[in-house]
Amino acid sequence: MSLMAGKRGLVFGIANDYSIAWAITEQLHKEGAELGFTHLPDRDPANPKMERRVRKLVDPIGAKMLVSCDVQQDADLDKTFALAKETFGEIDFVVHSIAYAPIDDLKGPVYGCSRDGFKTAMDISVFSLMAICKRAQALMPNGGSIITLSYLGGERVIPGYNVMGLCKAALESSVGYLAHELGQKKIRVNALSAGPIKTLSSSAVKDFDSMLNMYGAMAPLRRNVEVEEVGKTGLYLLSDMSTGVTGETLHVDSGYHVMGAPPADAKFS
């Protein structure tokens, strides 16, 4: 039997087919999961670019629902989970792949981040997980699994990652508290900390190509991680293969996070 046969869940945060959320979705679909999705709100309802972009991906795999959701709006979150209840009744998993900081605040130094930019980044990147967990747990009477996506910049200083590193540190802390609070309901909460992957979000990170080069030179596997490997790890955390794992930040980065200095054979191009 497929790993996710009979399992139903929601995926927040697909932007396009390069998204890590999409790589996880592909693995979930292969293993038989029934899936619902959200997309960013379209500014012009007459020209729904965001909806079309995501629908193009999810319709061919039999998406059970697709709804616009601005995670800064409680009404949108309520609407999304009301539709999930109507569509599925109960759910077994949630993928939270949402992060954002205003571009000027992200590209500038941490000390130069604006007050409003910091609030926005934390609201979207961190509070959204808490708000989603609050609503998801009501649809998980038999337990379930919730995962979010992080990065090493939440644990170590990664030049260029800037204020998003602060957001990921807060996100990983929230994972532990949420795991504690939801554990007695048999709901697991984990973070997946992937190595650098070329996505729409990563394009805003300064010197991203240098990150890719460094990972290939320094990681124990002497290569960067592939997005498919991140997708498979997401599947593991969402499936019954990981029923004893919660409150974890699981690194999928070819082992880069264990290194404290470059290996002797490291070659930087």
The pTM score is 0.94
Please determine, for residue 268, whether its predicted confidence score (pLDDT) is greater than 70: yes
Please determine, for residue 198, whether its predicted confidence score (pLDDT) is greater than 90: no
| pLDDT single digits (tens) 67-91 | 999 999 999 999 999 999 999 999 9
Q: What is the mean pLDDT of residues 160-177?
A: 97
The pLDDT assigned to 267 comes to 80
| pLDDT single digits (tens) 232-260 | 999 999 999 999 999 999 999 999 999 99
The pLDDT assigned to 216 comes to 85
Domain presence at residue 264? no
The pLDDT assigned to 133 comes to 98
Question: Catalytic positions, please?
Answer: 151, 161
Domain presence at residue 260? no
Show the tokens assigned to 161.
Answer: 């990652």
Which strand (E) or helix (H) includes residue 11?
A: strand 8-12
Q: What is the mean pLDDT of residues 13-25?
A: 95
| pLDDT single digits (tens) 202-213 | 555 556 667 778
Domain presence at residue 269? no
Split into its structural domains, the chain has a count of 1
Please determine, for residue 155, whether its predicted confidence score (pLDDT) is greater than 70: yes
Looking up residue 72, the CATH number of its domain turns out to be 3.40.50.720
Domain presence at residue 262? no
Give the residues across from 68 on adjacent strands.
Answer: 39
Q: Is-contact 180 223, C-beta < 8 A?
A: no
Distance CA 28, CA 115 (A): 39
The pLDDT assigned to 22 comes to 97
Query: Regarding beta strands 144-150 and 187-194, do their DSSP bridges make them parallel or antiparallel, or are they unpaired?
Result: parallel
| pLDDT single digits (tens) 126-149 | 999 999 999 999 999 999 999 999
Domain presence at residue 129? yes
Please determine, for residue 1, whether its predicted confidence score (pLDDT) is greater than 70: no
Q: What is the mean pLDDT of residues 5-12?
A: 98
Question: To the nearest whole percent, how much of the chain has pLDDT over 70?
Answer: 95
Domain presence at residue 265? no
Q: Is-contact 106 162, C-beta < 8 A?
A: yes
Domain presence at residue 268? no
Show the tokens assigned to 44.
Answer: 């012009």
The pLDDT assigned to 98 comes to 97
Distance CA 254, CA 238 (A): 21
Domain presence at residue 257? no
Residues spanned by the domain of 69: 8-252
The pLDDT assigned to 30 comes to 98
Mean pLDDT of the chain: 94
| pLDDT single digits (tens) 43-72 | 888 889 999 999 999 999 999 999 999 999
Q: Phi/psi at 8 (nearest 5 deg)?
A: -130, 140
